[in-house]
Structure 1
Amino acid sequence: MARRTGWRVCSVPGCPEFTQTGRCDEHRREAEQRRGTARQRGYGQQHEQRFRPGVLRRDPVCTCPGCASCLRTGSGRCNRESLHADHWPLSRRELVAAGDDPDDPKHGRGLCGPCHSSHTASEQPGGWHQ
């Protein structure tokens, strides 16, 4: 059998499918269904109208303190435009559990796309690298 460059076996134990990402298409769809929609996870109208605009207005440039994406640039910061309002230092779940308002912009930071993905992958429960 010829070896496929960049391909590996699905990361779900026992699945024999080859993929270029962590999970095969079937297991990726199943994971997305378990995750639920943004609305089901609590990202509703207040998030869209209050949290996200407030964070991005305050932090128009990525504020990441040095994730893998930033470290590749050599500067320690990427200085790209913020596109995502990320809950920080507590996650949305942790804020809700503590009785805090998760839609208050003071609980967020602005991140660019690559830094937000890197943060989510490494630190969030169920992140891609966990």
Structure 2
Amino acid sequence: MPASLRVCSTPGCPRLSRETQCDEHRRASVRERQARRTRARGNDPRTIKRVLGRDGWACVVCGAKKRDVSRRDPTKRVSLQAAHIVAVEHGGSDELSNLRTLCTDCHHEEHHG
């Protein structure tokens, strides 16, 4: 037997739903939850864009720019990443002052030697 209809749990919303929230508010809640998780992991696109822009859209170690040929694999192109100077697990933060632009090659070398 299907669940009975009830009023959406979002304050002021009169819509009826079989879930706790109506479809519109449930989708909005999911989007907001995903956005919070993204920001919490330091992957906020606005922050990444600020770091890359500040660093001239080039790797601060080797100077590679986006779409240059990869040093490790000449069949691939470089992509740029905002990388922590001091890792979060070692007390670093997601502040702009603790982030720098690295190409995938330099970022890999930093972590794997």
Q: Which has the higher contact order (CA 8 A, sep 6+)?
A: 1
TM-score, normalisation: structure 1: 0.40
Greater Rg over alpha carbons, structure: 2
